[in-house]
Amino acid sequence: MPNRLKKTLDRMISKAGSGSRSDAQKWVKQGRVRINGVIAESPDQWVDPERDRITVDGAPLRAAEPVYVLLYKPKGYLTTYSDPQGRPTVYDLIQGVGQFTGTVGRLDLDTSGLLLLTNDTALADRLMDPAWHAPKTYLVKASTRLGDAQLDRLRTGVDLDDGPTRPATVRRIRDSEKYSFIEITITEGRNRQVRRMIEALGSKVLKLVRTRFGPLEIGDLEIGKYRLLERREVTALRDLVGLKNDADQESKRKLLVPQGNRPILGGRRGRRGLRD
């Protein structure tokens, strides 16, 4: 068994923030990656982050500056780096960031709202680990009116095909003649979980918007726009999952192609009006 501190070469390069795992696999195939001066043979090759010297096009990897991006994902965008069918992805919206970041979880094609992207893999791993109970809040428009008993089922947990859900925090916002509008906060990240929870009540989700993730809020950021997190927001995220600033050794092992060999970090700060 490989040492737990080792990583596959393609994963190491992707976590460096210089490209996706697909990019890394292509670079290895093209002979552009070397390990300790020897051309890498396979993207699945195990490497030691602390002992092995990895270069891409002759440029060594070095310690990275972490980047944290909050995007208001629109409906109709895939949460993936690329799509064989050519459909738009969230990466089309953050090209100004200037370096590769991974998404912290996913929002499905028909869901909009707050999406976090970062190259801080230690933080991302913990935020996606259900053991840390990171809360995620959504606004839901249901296809029917939901009664109090149905909302209570969400609060106590509903049975899904992959097991019962944890209790959710639920608030009724308003009812129209045909629909109910609710706010729900969950501490899990199962595939299409909120949609399946509403379906378990005999209704369907007509609109789903994530408004909060842990201490982060979408605020008045304009749909399709992004901003960089403020220092206090990063600190709050790391506190949420038990990571102290500058103290977590795993976070310090992030690697990156030197600044001169990649685009400069860019993007505008500021928030704009929220559109639903």
d(CA 107, CA 125): 17
Catalytic residue among 44, 57, 108, 159: 108
Annotate the chain with DSSP letters as a single string. ---TT-EEHHHHHHHTTSS-HHHHHHHHHTT-EEETTEE---TT-EE-TTT--EEETTEEPEEPPP-EEEEEEPTT-BSSS--TT---BGGGG-GGG-S--EESS---TT-EEEEEEES-HHHHHHHH-GGG---EEEEEEESSPPPHHHHHHHHH--EETTEEPPP-EEEEEEE-SS-EEEEEEES---TTHHHHHHHTTT--EEEEEEEEETTEE-TTPPTT-EEEPPHHHHHHHHHHTT--TTT-HHHHT-EE--GGGSPPP-----------
- Check if 108 is active-site: yes
d(CA 228, CA 162): 35
Using an 8 Å Cβ cutoff, are 179 and 144 in contact? Answer: yes
Catalytic residues: 108
